[in-house]
Chains A and B, each alone.
Chain A
Amino acid sequence: MKFYAYSREVRQSETASLLPTPHPSPTVVSFPQPNMNSSLLSELRAIVGERGLISSPEELHTYECDGLTNFRVMPLAVLLPADTQQVQAIARVCHRERIPFVARGSGTGLSGGALPVGNGIVISLARMNRILEVDLPNARVVVEPGVINLEVTGRVQPQEYFYAPDPSSQSVCSIGGNVAENSGGAHCLKYGFTTTHVLGLEVVLPDGSLVHLGGKSLDMPGYDLAGVFVGSEGTLGIATKVILRIVKRPECIRTLLAAFPSTNEAGEAVSDIIAAGMLPAAIEMMDNLAIQAAEAAVHPNYPNCGGLLLVELDGPVAEVEFLMQHVTEICRKNGAWEVRLAQTETERALVWKGRKAAFAAMGRISPNYIVQDGVIPRTALPQVMSEIARLSEETGLRVANVFHAGDGNLHPLVLYDRHIAGQEQAAESLSYRILELCLAAGGSITGEHGVGEEKKLMMSKMFSEPDLDTMQRVRCAFDPLQLSNPTKVFPTPRLCGEKPGEYVAHPLESAGIAERF
């Protein structure tokens, strides 16, 4: 059995030594200086045309990282196919030459999912940005992967429909990226995630073949491979068409802000809301540091408090009015000293603007920050919050907290200054320790940002070897050569067990730069 492994230099982050216990830290895999031979480059150029190929080092810099900027790898080339056939042609060349590829949407991901693989190419889907079909009677929209999330809603808004998944980056992130990451957003508490709203996919497999998973109708015969593909972080192939489900706008939407002395009281209120049998459209929480940052950045006029709760209810007017009364009472009972109902659509938009700007707003109060994405069972919130506070005190690093409180998805923001020696490593280390707290509480290392490059070593803490092995077996069915976004998600690659077709020497192997072992 032959298996190609790229020769790699691994930069082990130094954080481990700062910790009392051995600790997984992200590794950056970099590959030998790329040496794309010119005939290969011409072949790729012939597929995508002159404006579909980026190969000059200056331009390639734009693609060396995604939203997680502390990992950077230069790709050999970036290709911008204009249609499915071009994606297939590129994949066939990659398959023949054993060139790894990374598909990329808008590059807003926060876990390094679109980080290039050294000695690999990036396939940007940005030019495939057409909305192909709007089918209102069936509430379906068919799009190419480069379509921006908010554009889907923009297209169906006049008929009062919307596309429900609303990651904070929705004005710039692409549907293809959302599919890769199974993006969530504030409203997934009620409406579900990207996977709830993707009914079908056209996918180019890593060998260049084309398959259709799911469809416009529900429950197409066979395995739910669309369900497996969504959230697979680009490791199973490239989606070239996506069938989305859209949702009718509810009759009314009401948004309430409640100011609590601390996140503990706010958390109690959330528990009571859930216990009362309500399923709000969104429940968001911010701590004082996050409020200050949001206030400095976009002036949402939030009350200055220890724990801010944002509760949104939607549905029929009579129902929402009745339940909002109940929510208000619950907040007051739990110590809210101010409860404010957004009176106009403008006020409501401002409330959300502050929340959605919260990450970027950290720039106002700290030179650098790391955002994490752990999930806990909601009831563990007070305990995990006090642990985070303790760790923050211990390390001397400030941590701002923004949560999707309804589903226990935490976004701790660890603030630091890159220019202070050792602080970046300490911040990274703290952010991983917070994820360990989440795991200890029975939660997950990621609720919506993905594992990517950043958290792949944490996967071994969340899953056992047999669990991970089983997932990788599924990967082997899609991508036996492991060309599609390799080195991501899993801590160690798995051999696919069978000779994957006829052996073709990699150009770098022939050149003596890489070796097979």
Chain B
Amino acid sequence: MLQTSSIEEKLRSVVGPRNLRAATTADVVSGVQPQFVAEPDDEQKLAAVLSCSNEAGIAVIPRGGGTKLDWGNPAKKAELILSTARLNRILEHAWADLTVTVQAGCTLQCLQGTLAQHGQRLAFDGLWPERATIGGVLSTNDSGTSRLRFGALRDLIIGVTLALPSGTLASSGGKVVKNVAGYDLPKLATGALGTLGVITRAVFRLHPLPGSIRTFSFAVANFEAMQEMVLAIQDSKLAHTALQIRRGSGGRPCADILFEATEAGLSGQELQLRKLLGSTGAEQSSESIWNARQNLWSSAGKAVIAKVGVLPAEIAKTMRALEGISNTQSLQWQIAAQATGIATLRLEGEPARLSTAVRQLRAEVEGRGGSLVLLRRPGELDSIDAWGNPGDAVSLMRAVKHQLDPKGTLNPGRFVGGI
């Protein structure tokens, strides 16, 4: 049992009296009720409160917008919520150098709004941009539709500052796009689910906003035909930004393709696309079609939402397997897959059946060298590991964790291999 009062006093003294409060039921993390919420207003205080918690042996859950707190496994312990809400400033938008330095608690929408004033953007479309923070999207390695063209967050981040449980604030990378000095810790922090340190600021390379954009959609008879189309597009000279595969009405496979170019360039692209699609034809679509991934989260009901990663040429096989398993288990399913091979999947139905389906599908996907990671699930499925097979580097991952967070203070148990 923690000596709550003395720890509270200590925490309060390092973070400032106005920046610590008792946690309420609104702060519950995957069923665990934390005791405190700290909202430091600078990086030093954040590092200090982390170090103080580390010394006291209390578990810390870093939190940005709180939109993806249920990703990963449930935390083994959760005593302090360390919120980045007050670290929300854009520190420097060096627009002529196409870089931005931003604090972790800034929302994606706020960042994009500021960048747009100079015709620029972070080339990443994350979930719930109005609430999701930079620290959160990085830690969870959220992956959007424009990844096909611009790469993942790992390819856009060029610098990071991490608060470590030791109280150290460590920076790596830098403010220039091209830089190979020292280890690439920005990549290590991206997708680490806050288990190594708390991201306090990040530096990104930026891209110009597109001149014009146009989206086209097309439908085909079955998954195999869709796979062929997608591979043909990928093998063509089209310069698209995104290519998404969905299950449309009646279960018919649909695809959406996004072009960003000058007006002159767009007409050329449209012509080429139509030529390539031949009799399939394509309709111009509204941009809202790119919300397909986020929409999978919107409806209520007992559902599993998972991130599936397979090879681009195995999307159809994966969808076939998914269809077979869902039919056998009487489950409803929806998917938004990107041509990169990253898909978001929604499975709905009875928990016991969901559980069977997840195991079967995971075996299928892992057998093909891919992965299935649970992002959201009904409580009945809590015993299934969210991550699946972490591969033969898991001891190395534990060693990295041990070097940076030896006491397991940060997000205990939420990551792969029990990390």
Q: Using a CB-CB cutoff of 8 Å, which residues 463-485 of chain A contact chain B?
A: 463-464, 466-471, 473-478
Segment touching A, from B6-14, B31-39, B275-283, B307-315:
B307-315
| Contact between chains at B178 and A193 (CB < 8 Å) | yes
**Given the interface contacts A319-B239, A377-B176, A466-B169, does A225 sit within 8 Å of B400 by beta carbon?**
yes
Name the residue of chain A whose CB is nearest to the CB of B415: A222
List A contacts of B112 (CB < 8 A): none
Give CA–CA (A107, B318) in the complex, Å.
43
**Given the interface contacts A219-B143, A224-B190, does A474 sit within 8 Å of B151 by beta carbon?**
no
Name the residue of chain A whose CB is nearest to the CB of B267: A318
Give CA–CA (A78, B154) in the complex, Å.
36
| Residue B373 is within 8 A (CB to CB) of chain A in the complex | yes
Give CA–CA (A37, B237) in the complex, Å.
59
Partner of A476, one of B207, B342, B403, B417: B403
Give CA–CA (A227, B192) in the complex, Å.
12
- B181 to chain A minimum Cβ distance, whole angstroms, is 5
| Residue A215 is within 8 A (CB to CB) of chain B in the complex | yes
Give CA–CA (A448, B370) in the complex, Å.
32
- A252 to chain B minimum Cβ distance, whole angstroms, is 9
| Contact between chains at A318 and B371 (CB < 8 Å) | no
- B390 to chain A minimum Cβ distance, whole angstroms, is 5
| Residue B76 is within 8 A (CB to CB) of chain A in the complex | no
| Contact between chains at B191 and A231 (CB < 8 Å) | no
Contact mask for chain B residues 267-311; partner A; CB cutoff 8 A; 1 contact, 0 none: 111001000000000000000000000000000000000010111
Q: Using a CB-CB cutoff of 8 Å, which residues 136-185 of chain B contact chain A?
A: 141, 143, 151-152, 154-155, 162, 164, 168-172, 174-185
List A contacts of B99 (CB < 8 A): 377
Give CA–CA (A482, B188) in the complex, Å.
20
Give CA–CA (A471, B168) in the complex, Å.
12
Partner of B392, one of A210, A277, A408, A449: A210
Partner of A220, one of B151, B272, B371, B396: B371
List A contacts of B22 (CB < 8 A): none
| Contact between chains at A450 and B272 (CB < 8 Å) | no
List A contacts of B192 (CB < 8 A): 223-224
List A contacts of B399 (CB < 8 A): 477-478
Give CA–CA (A378, B96) in the complex, Å.
8
List A contacts of B267 (CB < 8 A): 318
Partner of B185, one of A140, A407, A470: A470
| Contact between chains at A223 and B400 (CB < 8 Å) | yes
Contact mask for chain A residues 213-244; partner B; CB cutoff 8 A; 1 contact, 0 none: 10111111111110110111000000000000
Give CA–CA (A409, B179) in the complex, Å.
9
Partner of B178, one of A188, A278, A469, A478: A188
**Given the interface contacts A316-B268, A322-B265, A377-B175, does A195 sit within 8 Å of B184 by beta carbon?**
yes
| Contact between chains at B181 and A227 (CB < 8 Å) | no
| Contact between chains at B176 and A470 (CB < 8 Å) | no
- B56 to chain A minimum Cβ distance, whole angstroms, is 22
| Contact between chains at B340 and A218 (CB < 8 Å) | yes
Name the residue of chain B whose CB is nearest to the CB of A489: B182
| Contact between chains at B235 and A322 (CB < 8 Å) | no
Task: Count residues of chain A with CB under 8 A from any CB of chain B.
Answer: 90
Q: Using a CB-CB cutoff of 8 Å, which residues 417-472 of chain A contact chain B?
A: 442-451, 455, 459, 462-464, 466-471
List A contacts of B262 (CB < 8 A): 319, 322-323
| Contact between chains at A451 and B181 (CB < 8 Å) | yes
* Interface residue range, chain B: 35 or more
Give CA–CA (A218, B154) in the complex, Å.
12
| Contact between chains at B396 and A375 (CB < 8 Å) | no
**Given the interface contacts A217-B341, A228-B183, A379-B97, does A248 sit within 8 Å of B175 by beta carbon?**
no
| Contact between chains at B416 and A221 (CB < 8 Å) | yes
| Residue A275 is within 8 A (CB to CB) of chain B in the complex | yes
List B contacts of A447 (CB < 8 A): 176, 178-180
Name the residue of chain A whose CB is nearest to the CB of B262: A322
Q: Using a CB-CB cutoff of 8 Å, which residues 340-354 of chain B contact chain A?
A: 340-342
Name the residue of chain B whose CB is nearest to the CB of A227: B187
| Residue B19 is within 8 A (CB to CB) of chain A in the complex | no
**Given the interface contacts A315-B239, A322-B262, A463-B172, does A445 sit within 8 Å of B181 by beta carbon?**
yes
| Residue B217 is within 8 A (CB to CB) of chain A in the complex | no
List B contacts of A72 (CB < 8 A): none
| Contact between chains at B181 and A446 (CB < 8 Å) | yes
- A436 to chain B minimum Cβ distance, whole angstroms, is 14
- B201 to chain A minimum Cβ distance, whole angstroms, is 13
List A contacts of B389 (CB < 8 A): 221
| Contact between chains at A221 and B387 (CB < 8 Å) | yes
Give CA–CA (A174, B98) in the complex, Å.
31
Name the residue of chain B whose CB is nearest to the CB of A203: B393
| Contact between chains at A408 and B177 (CB < 8 Å) | yes
| Contact between chains at A211 and B342 (CB < 8 Å) | no
| Residue B391 is within 8 A (CB to CB) of chain A in the complex | yes
List A contacts of B404 (CB < 8 A): 470, 473-474
List B contacts of A463 (CB < 8 A): 171-172, 181-182
| Residue A84 is within 8 A (CB to CB) of chain B in the complex | no
List B contacts of A212 (CB < 8 A): 391-393
| Contact between chains at B182 and A459 (CB < 8 Å) | yes
List A contacts of B390 (CB < 8 A): 221-222
Q: Using a CB-CB cutoff of 8 Å, which residues 92-106 of chain B contact chain A?
A: 94, 96-99
- A225 to chain B minimum Cβ distance, whole angstroms, is 6
User: Can you name 16 extra interface pairs (CB under 8 A) apart from A137-B313, A248-B234, A450-B180?
Assistant: A137-B312, A138-B312, A216-B369, A227-B184, A231-B184, A274-B98, A317-B268, A319-B265, A377-B94, A447-B179, A447-B180, A470-B164, A470-B185, A471-B172, A474-B404, A475-B183
Which B residues fall within an 8 A CB radius of A?
94, 96-99, 119, 141, 143, 151-152, 154-155, 162, 164, 168-172, 174-185, 187-188, 190-192, 196, 207-209, 211, 231, 234-239, 261-262, 264-265, 267-269, 272, 307, 309-313, 340-342, 369-371, 373, 387-394, 396-397, 399-400, 402-404, 415-417
Q: List 15 A-B contacts (CB under 8 A).
A: A135-B313, A193-B178, A195-B155, A212-B391, A218-B143, A223-B188, A223-B192, A224-B187, A228-B188, A231-B183, A316-B269, A408-B97, A451-B182, A474-B400, A475-B183
| A-B complex: 5 closest residue pairs judged by Cβ atoms | A227-B187, A319-B265, A277-B208, A318-B268, A470-B170
